[in-house]
Amino acid sequence: MTFRRNAAVVVLVLAGVLLHGVLGGSSSHTGFARTGNAPPSTGGVKNFTAPAPSSGALEGGCGCGPTPPPWDFLNEKLAALFPVIQAFKRSITCDPLGVTSTWEGTKLCDSHSGGTAYKGFYCDYPPTANTTLTIASIDFNGFGLCAPSLAGFVDAFPDLALFHANSNNFSGAVPDLTALPFFYELDLSNNNFSGAFPDTVVPLGGLLFLDLRFNRFAGSVPPPVFGITLEALFLNNNGFTGRIPDTLGSTTAQYLVVANNRFTGPIPRSIFNTSAHLEEVLFLNNDLSGCLPYEIGLVEGLTLFDAGGNQITGPIPLSFGCLAHAEEINLAGNQLYGNVPDVLCLLAKNAKLTNLSLSDNYFHSVGHHCMELVRSRVLDVRRNCILGFPDQRPLLECTWFYADPPQHCPFVPHIPCDLPGYHKPHANKPALLPAAHRQGGGGGN
């Protein structure tokens, strides 16, 4: 369908976040007609919060009255949806904003003409019946509704294109939406969903936006998830465990966030396959380990890379100097060591880098251009092992680390791009730290 090929992710409104954070609620009522592309901005790690779901007493009627006759509705589609909405209304146990009190009468598409009835429901004309107005999107963001299940409700809207439910108290099983031919956006963030990754999501091949953050999902993420044709995938702030599948390299996402979980193992080297589209990726605050992959530097379009708060080790690959579009790189709170490469720091001079955090690692030296970034406070190297710098680790702690680093990582001297202004240092250039700190250093770069 043409309307799907030309679509852009409407929900990427992401309520004022990203440059490391990931969003509050998103809101979009465009239904079937999607135009424009408004990518989210990734805020800082400190923005990784969302309002806690609220609760309250049920307000408004139960919708238990007699069903109006079919001729009172605009069309048969809306007449069939009326009992679905009323049944869901009866299942709601809290409604602090009194939203459900507007779910009365026969004007299900009142919002289409600027009315206030049936708040949260938005109508449009489906591609297969462009003269029949029907409910195309449901947006419950911030309503604080409580309900034990969405099954039998969301999946009962045959022409639904998107469902947004950020900041409610929904739980239970995630509905099977595979029978909805136009569906492309699902936001269940900041609710009370739990259990394994919802297997009903994996078959949604036409999904473009998936937001499951701030729930209590746990266990591994099925590899096929990264094969869905998504433009944005947010799995952060759950309890996901295990390794991030190698199928990460198959993702079509521009924005990928798996932060604040309990993932283990290395960052998959297959990440280099995302070079054509990946712009922002956040791995921070997991239990990732292993060497920092050289392949990250091949993802040329990255504007934000955040792997802070893990156990990643090794030197920074010289390939990172090829991230010419990077605006922010966070590698703080790991076990990285060696020299901070000047090719990385040159990104602040020759490209777009404005924030580089390498604090709480074990780097023993920095180059000339990195020194300039330290002075200008673009580069944070506190809590490292750099002699003569303030706020560094104790000398004995650094000595112990270099005597037995957690892993000896390979150093690749090749730089896979042209770097203006970079001159490869002489092999006999003296180090900035005594030999005691360099034992087992895995090769400075």
Low-confidence ranges of the chain (pLDDT < 50): 1-27, 34-63, 426-445
What is the structure's pLDDT at 72? 86
Q: Give the count of beta carbons closer than 10 Å to the beta carbon of residue 83.
A: 12
What is the structure's pLDDT at 15? 34
What is the structure's pLDDT at 117? 97
The sheet with strand 194-195 has its strands ordered as: 194-195, 216-219, 239-243, 262-265, 287-288
| Domains within the chain, CATH numbers bracketed | 2-51+112-137+161-438 (3.80.10.10)
CA–CA dist 47, 45 (Å, integer): 5
User: CA-CA distances (angstroms) from residue 373 to 90, 121, 131, 348, 358?
Assistant: 60, 51, 60, 8, 12
What is the structure's pLDDT at 131? 86
The sheet with strand 313-314 has its strands ordered as: 313-314, 335-340, 362-366
DSSP string, 100-138: GGG--SS-TTGGGGT--SSTTEEEE--TT-TTS-EEEEE
Eight-class DSSP state of 223: G
CA–CA dist 163, 189 (Å, integer): 11
Helix (H, G, I), strand (E, B) or coil at 30: coil
CA–CA dist 281, 239 (Å, integer): 18
What is the structure's pLDDT at 64? 54
CA–CA dist 413, 356 (Å, integer): 22
What is the structure's pLDDT at 421? 53
CA–CA dist 324, 419 (Å, integer): 9
Q: Ramachandran region of residue 66, left (φ > 0), alpha (ψ -120 to 50) or beta?
A: beta
CA–CA dist 23, 17 (Å, integer): 5
Q: CB-based contacts of 157: which residues, under 8 Å, 6+ apart? A: 81, 84, 135, 138, 180
Q: pLDDT, tens digit, for every residue of 172-198?
A: 999 999 999 999 999 999 999 999 999
CA–CA dist 393, 386 (Å, integer): 8
- Match 């309520």 to its residue by tokens: 15
Give the pTM: 0.82
Side chain identity at residue 140, one-letter code: F
